[in-house]
Amino acid sequence: MAAPTAIKTDIDLKLAAELAQQLRVDSVRSSTSAGSGHPTSSMSAADLLAVLVSRHLRYDWDEPANPDNDHLIFSKGHASPLLYSVFKAVGVISDEELMTGYRRFGSRLEGHPTPVLPWVDVATGSLGQGLPDAVGVALAGKYVAESPFRVWVLCGDSETAEGSIWEAIDHASHYKLSNLIAIVDVNRLGQRGPTELSWDLETYTRRFSAFGAQVLSVDGHDVGAIDRAMTRAADVSGDQPSVILARTQKGRGFSEVEDKEGWHGQPLPPEMAERAIIELGGERHLIVRGPKPVAAARVPRTTADGAQVKLPVYEVGDKVATRKAYGDALAALGARRDVVAMDGEVSNSTFADEFAHRYPERFFEMYIAEQQLIAAAVGFSVCGYRPFASTFAAFLTRAYDFIRMASISQASICLSGSHAGVEIGADGPSQMALEDLAMLRAVQGSTVLYPSDATSAAALVAAMAGLDGISYLRTTRGAYPVLYRSGEFFPVGGAKVLRSSDADQVTLVGAGVTLHECLAAADQLAAVGISARVIDLYSVKPVDTATLTAAADATGGRFVLVEDHHPEGGLGSAVLEALADTGRVDLRVAHLAVREMPGSGTSQELLDAAGISAGHIAAAASGLAGA
């Protein structure tokens, strides 16, 4: 760290240009030292970042948690050498860390930025995600926190081919996010050659304008022009997001690579790096600070306050859909001012509309744009809110890359997917989630919940609000009997044993609709003298290994595992993996799942056809009990 006296403030454009050269030199040095990275993609944007951090970004580098700080998101995450060089230039990491840490094992200076660094909001590196995430941050700032912060996003030109960029701009203009500024580094070269639009800034302008942005085109190496554009974009009094289109050269500043193909993702060999540093004017070690955040009257950023959350109460035996219980519980959670909700234009199906009606100021309609739906949730998480995002479970597949990245972003977001499985009936397979348990379980650190009744669903929604990471609630379309009394406790990682006796011969494991089928099967089995244990596996991840192990011991390892899901990676896998992880598995298993492509029909017809209804369960259990 440089001594405080060395810190320069009130940076003029001449010094900003110096700073840009320093950022280039450090991008070269760090990537060459690591033997990997993207120096040329960093050099194109160095002037943009130099002007931004020294003259426009309002950020207290000593207090990254200051809620009024502007946000800086590198949507083109591969330009990490540039970002880390900025961190050196503002004095929060040392030159030594930059040179010995970048891309090394155990270092926080990862190949692409992640929030292991306190100045990084979200993980980037899967292109087209930083801008949608930023929309979420800007929504939080403008509508909930009411903070004057701005959100600055550095985008690559290649990533504008991602549809998610257009979902983001569309939503930014719909919600009049004048606090959002996207800076597009149009260096015309992608990984394997020219981009689709090259330097056609006119087409970019038409597109971004048509999607509702204020567009400012600049020579991305003219610090004066950049400064003027940023000054204009930073004025949040309008009602449009801003897009600064910067015409740049990849590898700018080093003639051997400048605007040349074949240098994407290539660190310069050491001798070349030496020549580059000389051409760029040599090493510099400026420490600069730009403007400070504006503290303003605003809604305090709350976490769970002492709000009384009064969960809905259901009568045992009443038929209530778990998706309805989701809506009821979410509306109840709204008493907590940190809870926000969003939905993908199906809130009257997911029942998120119950929250929307009660707390319209904290509900965000994301229309049919599931990528932006998840990204908005991530953005709210960045700002300390507790977002709940819902759509049909089948359509969460649209956002899998965003969910995966949300996990790397250390976001805590709560997802609800309705209309799971063949149970939905007539709409057919396009609307049936049959892969969602596999998809969500495979996310690092995730929680996967699948309630069978309204009481447990409501309790689990409340539990989700306190979980770290990605949590997922799978809900069912149809209404089924309430099984549990109000007040029953449903710990995450638990399970309920609904039927058991000392004489149990076989264990039936289900969740959601199949739990009801398991109960019916147990009745059928009892009628023929077979005693079946029934487990409600409402927590699919983490799973209740102790209850499963006890059942295995009690029923000679005989299990019927039943799920309204494809056979791979779902509830059955969860049970098998958990028992395997105990080191020892001695089982006789029938695994009933949806193995063929379903069509339309009634719920019962489709459960029967898939072989996951009570009759099939009873038959499988009889077979095992006799074995």
Residues 442-461 that bind a copy of itself (CB under 8 A): 442-445
Binding residues for a copy of itself, how many (CB under 8 A)?
A: 117
Among 96, 271, 502, 586, binds a copy of itself (CB under 8 A): 586
Among 222, 274, 588, 615, binds a copy of itself (CB under 8 A): 588
**Sole window of 199-207, 411-419, 455-463, 498-506 interacting with a copy of itself (rule: CB under 8 A):** 199-207
Q: Which of residues 152-171 bind a copy of itself (CB under 8 A)?
A: 158-159, 161-167, 170
| Gyration radius of the chain's alpha carbons | 27
Min. distance of Cβ 249 from a copy of itself in angstroms? 20
Kindly state the tokens that stand for 574: 């969860």
**Sole window of 15-23, 376-384, 405-413, 509-517 interacting with a copy of itself (rule: CB under 8 A):** 405-413
Q: Is 195 in the site for a copy of itself (CB under 8 A)?
A: yes
Answer for the pair 451, 492: CB distance below 8 angstroms, yes or no.
no
Q: Is 605 in the site for a copy of itself (CB under 8 A)?
A: yes
Answer for the pair 322, 475: CB distance below 8 angstroms, yes or no.
yes
**Sole window of 117-125, 145-153, 220-228, 239-247 interacting with a copy of itself (rule: CB under 8 A):** 117-125
Among 4, 105, 300, 361, binds a copy of itself (CB under 8 A): 105
Q: Which of residues 281-320 bind a copy of itself (CB under 8 A)?
A: none
Who's near 626: CB < 8 A, 6+ residues apart?
Answer: none
Q: Residues of 409-432 as b/e, b for ≥16 C-beta within 10 angstroms?
A: bbbbbbbbbbbbbbbbbeeeeebb
Among 273, 325, 438, 461, binds a copy of itself (CB under 8 A): 438
Among 28, 120, 408, 522, binds a copy of itself (CB under 8 A): 408
* Three-state DSSP class for residue 401: helix
Min. distance of Cβ 289 from a copy of itself in angstroms? 28
Min. distance of Cβ 55 from a copy of itself in angstroms? 30
- Whole-number Å distance between alpha carbons of 281 and 135: 38
Least Cα distance to 404 among 34, 22, 123 occurs for: 123
Q: Is 577 in the site for a copy of itself (CB under 8 A)?
A: yes
State residue 186 phi and psi, 5-degree precision. Answer: -85, 85
Q: Which of residues 327-356 bind a copy of itself (CB under 8 A)?
A: 345-349, 353
Among 7, 8, 97, 111, binds a copy of itself (CB under 8 A): 111
Q: Which of residues 37-56 bind a copy of itself (CB under 8 A)?
A: 37
Min. distance of Cβ 432 from a copy of itself in angstroms? 9
Among 2, 316, 368, 546, binds a copy of itself (CB under 8 A): 368
Answer for the pair 56, 226: CB distance below 8 angstroms, yes or no.
no
Q: Which of residues 53-72 bind a copy of itself (CB under 8 A)?
A: none
Min. distance of Cβ 375 from a copy of itself in angstroms? 11
User: Does residue 370 carry a catalytic annotation?
Assistant: yes
Among 19, 25, 34, 513, binds a copy of itself (CB under 8 A): 34
Q: Is 76 in the site for a copy of itself (CB under 8 A)?
A: no
Kindly state the tokens that stand for 115: 């929030």
**Catalytic choice (159, 162, 354, 370):** 370
Question: What's the half-sphere exposure (Cβ side, CA atoms, 13 Å) at 399?
Answer: 34
In the bound state with a copy of itself, the residue whose beta carbon lies nearer, of 46 and 543, is 543
In the bound state with a copy of itself, the residue whose beta carbon lies nearer, of 200 and 523, is 200
DSSP β-ladder status, 539-541 and 447-449: antiparallel
Q: How far is CA 232 from CA 54, 171, 240, 286, 307, in A?
A: 16, 21, 12, 27, 41
Among 154, 225, 439, 525, binds a copy of itself (CB under 8 A): 439
- Whole-number Å distance between alpha carbons of 27 and 33: 10
Answer for the pair 101, 182: CB distance below 8 angstroms, yes or no.
no
Answer for the pair 248, 44: CB distance below 8 angstroms, yes or no.
yes
Q: Which of residues 127-146 bind a copy of itself (CB under 8 A)?
A: 127-128
Q: Is 429 in the site for a copy of itself (CB under 8 A)?
A: yes
In the bound state with a copy of itself, the residue whose beta carbon lies nearer, of 254 and 559, is 559
Q: Which of residues 496-515 bind a copy of itself (CB under 8 A)?
A: none
DSSP β-ladder status, 479-481 and 71-74: unpaired
Q: Which of residues 82-101 bind a copy of itself (CB under 8 A)?
A: none
Q: How far is CA 204 from CA 161, 187, 207, 214, in A?
A: 11, 13, 5, 12
Min. distance of Cβ 290 from a copy of itself in angstroms? 28
Q: Which of residues 515-574 bind a copy of itself (CB under 8 A)?
A: 541, 565-570, 572-574
Residues pairing with 479 in the sheet? 321
Kindly state the tokens that stand for 77: 């995450």
In the bound state with a copy of itself, the residue whose beta carbon lies nearer, of 353 and 453, is 353
Task: List the x/- string, 385-404, binding to a copy of itself by CB under 8 A.
Answer: ---------xx-xx-xx--x
Answer for the pair 8, 101: CB distance below 8 angstroms, yes or no.
no
In the bound state with a copy of itself, the residue whose beta carbon lies nearer, of 384 and 601, is 601
Answer for the pair 76, 127: CB distance below 8 angstroms, yes or no.
yes
Answer for the pair 466, 430: CB distance below 8 angstroms, yes or no.
no
Among 66, 94, 107, 531, binds a copy of itself (CB under 8 A): 107
- Whole-number Å distance between alpha carbons of 185 and 155: 6
Helices 46-55, 223-233: crossing angle, 10 deg rounding: 50
Answer for the pair 540, 594: CB distance below 8 angstroms, yes or no.
no
Question: CA quadruple 68, 70, 72, 75: dihedral positive or negative?
Answer: positive
Who's near 312: CB < 8 A, 6+ residues apart?
Answer: 325, 328, 329, 332, 454, 458
Q: Is 252 in the site for a copy of itself (CB under 8 A)?
A: no
Q: Residues of 558-580 as b/e, b for ≥16 C-beta within 10 angstroms?
A: bbbbbbbbbbebbbbbbbbebbe
Q: Is 81 in the site for a copy of itself (CB under 8 A)?
A: no
Min. distance of Cβ 213 from a copy of itself in angstroms? 12
Min. distance of Cβ 11 from a copy of itself in angstroms? 31
Active site residues: 370
